[in-house]
Each structure stands twice: as C-alpha cells, then as structure tokens.
Amino acid sequence: MTESIIITKDLKKDYLMGQVKVPALKGVNINIKKGEFVAIMGSSGSGKTTLIEIIGTLLNLSDGKVIISNNDVSTMNENHKADFRLNNIGFIFQFFNLFSELTALENVMLPKLMKGFSKGQCKKRAVKLLDLVGLDNRMNHKSSTLSGGQQQRVAIARALMNNPPILLADEPTGNLDSKRAEEIIQLLRKLNKEGQTIVMITHELHIGKKADRIIRLKDGLIEK
C-alpha cells in the first residue's frame, strides 16, 4: 500500500480583516499518496492558494494539523520550517521568480548553494537538471533573455535541485501560451512517472485533468 506523504487534519485558516475574522479554510482534510500528481482547483477565493502555502510551510495555520513525510510541520518553529522546506519541498511559481541578472545555471544552483555545498557539486547537478528539462544549450544565458516557457523550465530545474520528495506548483502554466503550457505539463507528467509527488494549483480544467485526480475547493471546504 502506497504511503501518504501529505495529510491535513481539520485544517483551518482565518485572516483578520480589521476586527473581523474571515475564514479562508474551514476544516480541510486531504490525503495525498507518495508519487501522486494532484491538481487543486477552485474559483478565486476558494482557499486553494492558502492551502498550498500552508502545505509548503510558507503560511501558519489557525487550527488543525499538517503532516508531511510523517513530520507534523504545524508544530515547527520558523527556523525548523525553513530547514524542512529547503530539504523537502520544491516550489514552482506562475511568474517563475528567477533572478534576472543570473544565468539559468546560476539560478538552478542556488538552493544547493544555500545548503553549503561547493560550487563544483552544485554546478554538476544543475547541469544535469538543465539537460533534463531540455535547456542544456541555454544554461549560460541570463534568465531575462529566455522565453517564458524556458524560464519556467529553469524554475522546475531549480525546484528539483535538492531532490525534494514534493513539488508544489502554483499555476505553473498561468503565464504561458497554450503550446508552452502543454510542454510544461508534459514535463511535469514525465517527472511524476519517474516517482515525483506533485501538487498543482490550476484554474484551467484541461490542465487539471492532466493530473491523477482533482481536489476541488469551494468557500474553504472540499467539494465532494
């Protein structure tokens, strides 16, 4: 039986708007198995971004639990969370979040450099990953000179740099045309078939259908 890698238990998140408490998540229970490709879908304000940011330890929850790889991250302090994030979670964002003045290679090397590895070790793995995403011939180009699809491929390679068990993708095709979006989804599917667990936010049904299953959120709750 495949083990669970992400579990949320009665997950709740409230925001304060002045003196008013506004619930964003109202008791969300999910169970994602190791090696799954899951899409999280819902209209604007449904809570999907809040959910993925809590899973990614970027946002504190109000109540409930989040268990990742058998670790209760909801009890961790901020330093522990930062260390856990660096080793266990890769992030892919809609707007790439690359450093424009750095080359593709330098951008990909960053996560491993942050862990204290030598430049030589980091470069070796970064070159391998850029080859994996089809950018071995563009690795020395500054990210600002790359197309949107190429920048997203760099971002995926960077997310894989520390070999994280989980990839969290927040609208990874939202800033791309349909052809480049399909290329990115095919790359994510390839990674998933090789065993990578992927959780992806998308508002596009045809993109969501590329995942193994869809979790739909509405008004802070999972739709049955």
11, 40, 207 from 70: Cα distances, Å: 16, 22, 30
| Contacting residues for 14 by C-beta, under 8 A, at least 6 apart | 21, 22, 23, 24, 62
The per-residue pLDDT for 76 is 93
Instruction: Measure CA of the first residue to CA of the last residue in the chain; give whole Å.
Output: 24
pLDDT in tens, the chain (224 residues): 679 999 999 999 999 888 899 999 999 999 999 999 999 999 888 999 999 999 999 999 999 999 999 999 999 999 999 999 989 999 988 787 899 999 999 999 998 998 888 999 999 999 999 998 889 899 999 999 999 989 988 999 999 999 999 999 998 888 888 888 898 899 899 999 999 999 999 988 999 999 999 999 999 999 86
Q: Which two tokens stand for residue 126?
A: 């970064």
The per-residue pLDDT for 63 is 96
The per-residue pLDDT for 199 is 97
What is the torsion angle, in degrees rounded to the nearest 10, for the CA atoms of residue 203, residue 204, residue 205 and residue 206? -160
pTM: 0.90
17, 82, 88, 109, 122 from 3: Cα distances, Å: 39, 24, 16, 31, 31
Alpha helices in 15-66 (DSSP H): 48-55
**Length of the chain as a residue count:** 224
The per-residue pLDDT for 45 is 86
- Distance from chain centroid for Cα 55: 9
Full set of structural domains in the chain with CATH: 36-49+76-222 (3.40.50.300)
162, 135 contact by CB (below 8 A) = no
Alpha helices in 6-160 (DSSP H): 48-55, 78-88, 104-114, 119-132, 148-159
